[in-house]
Amino acid sequence: MMNGISRPESTVGLWYRYQRRLAPYIFISPFYILFVVFALGPLIAAFYFSMVKWAGTGPMTFLGAGNYLELFEDRIFLKSLGNTTYYAIGSVFVILPLALLLALMINAAVVRVKSLFRVAFIMPLLTSTVAATIMFLLMFEHQYGLFNAVLDAIGLTPLKWLDEELVKLSVLLVAAWRYTGLNMLYFLAGLQSIPPDVYEAAAVDGAGRWTTFWLITLPLLRPVSLFVVVITIIGSFQFFAEPLLLAGGGPNNASLTIANYLYRVGFQFLRMGYASAIGYVLAFIIFILTLLQLKLFGAFERT
C-alpha cells in the first residue's frame, strides 16, 4: 500500500530531478554540436588539407610543409599580405581616430541634435557591403563620378580612383564610410560610461582641457579602445567584398586581400590544399596580433 502510493511519486521525482540536472547541458548542446561539426572539425581538417595537394576531388598528395614554403615565395600572396596590412593600418590609424574625434564632439555639450548624428552615422553599417561598394563604384567613376566632379569644381585635377596607385585608398574610403559610425558608437558608449565626478574632480584640481583628455579620458577609454582596435584589426584582415567588387582585387592585384586570394586559389584554381594553408597563415596572423594587442593594452594584468 505504502509502495503503491510512493512509487509514482518517486518516478515523477526522479524524472523531475533528471531534467533539472540535464537541462543546462541540453540547452547549450546545439552550439557545441555545431561547433564540433562546423568549426572544430573543419579547423582540424583545414590543417590536414594545408599539407596536401588536392583539387577538391580525386587523390591527395602529401606535401608536408610544401604549401607553406611555397607561400613565402608566392609574389601574389606577399602582395595580398602587404595590401591587407595597409588596410589594417589605415583602419586603425585613420578610421579609429576619426571615430574617436566624432564621438568626443557628439559627447561634448556644445553639440545639438545628437540622435540625428547617431542615426546618420549608423545607416551605412546597415547597408550591405555589396550595395555600399556599388554606390561607391559609381562615385569613383573617372569621367562621371561624384568625387572627380567635386575635385573639378574646386579646381583640382580629377584622379583615377580605381587605378593601381589609388585603388587601396579608394577601398579605405568605402571602409571609412561603412565602419566609422560603428566605432564612433563604441567610443561614445565608452565616453558616456565615464562618471562625471571624475571630470569635476579634475576641474577642481585645475586641469585644463588637454590635460584632462590625455590623463583622464584616454586612460578611462582603454577597455573600449582595446575592444575597438581588436575587432578593427580582425575585421580588416578578413576584408573581402569591398576590394573584390570595387576592382576585382586588381588592377594588377593592387587591392587584393588575403581572403580574396584564398577564394581565388581555392574556388577558381581549385587548389584546396594551398588555399587551406593561406587560411592557416591568416588565422595565425590574427591570433598573434590579438595577443600582442592584449599585452600592449595590459589586459593580462589583473586590476
Could you tell me if 241 and 255 are in contact, meaning their C-beta atoms sit under 8 angstroms apart? no
Please identify, using beta-carbon distances, which residue of 65 and 122 lies nearer to another protein.
Answer: 122
Residue 259: strand pairing partners: none
Q: Does 140 bind another protein (CB under 8 A)?
A: no
- Residue from 218, 30, 225, 248 nearest 137 by CA: 248
Three-state secondary-structure class, residue 163: coil
**Burial (CB count <10 Å: 0-12, 13-18, 19+), residue 30:** exposed
- Binders of another protein among 4-43, rule CB under 8 A? 16, 19-20, 23-25, 27-28, 30-32, 34-35, 37-39, 41-43
Q: Does 169 bind another protein (CB under 8 A)?
A: no
- The correct pick among 46, 60, 94, 220 for binding another protein (CB under 8 A) is 46
Q: Three cell numbers at 95?
A: 578610421
- The correct pick among 92, 137, 151, 207 for binding another protein (CB under 8 A) is 137
Residue 199: strand pairing partners: none
Cβ count near 246 (within 10 Å) = 23
Could you tell me if 261 and 76 are in contact, meaning their C-beta atoms sit under 8 angstroms apart? yes
Could you tell me if 199 and 207 are in contact, meaning their C-beta atoms sit under 8 angstroms apart? no
- Binders of another protein among 171-210, rule CB under 8 A? 176-177, 180-182, 185-186, 188-190, 193
- Binders of another protein among 262-281, rule CB under 8 A? 262-263, 266-267, 272, 275-276, 279-280
Q: Does 249 bind another protein (CB under 8 A)?
A: no
Residue 62: strand pairing partners: 52
Number of residues that bind another protein (CB under 8 A): 99
Least distance between another protein and beta carbon 75 (Å): 21
Q: Does 212 bind another protein (CB under 8 A)?
A: no
- Binders of another protein among 58-97, rule CB under 8 A? none
Please identify, using beta-carbon distances, which residue of 2 and 223 lies nearer to another protein.
Answer: 223
Please identify, using beta-carbon distances, which residue of 228 and 254 lies nearer to another protein.
Answer: 228
Query: Where does this chain touch another protein (CB under 8 A) — which range of 1-9, 87-95, 212-220, 222-230?
Result: 222-230
- The correct pick among 53, 85, 127, 293 for binding another protein (CB under 8 A) is 127
Measure CA of the first residue to CA of the last residue in the chain; give whole Å.
64
CA separation for the pair 299, 303 (Å, rounded): 9
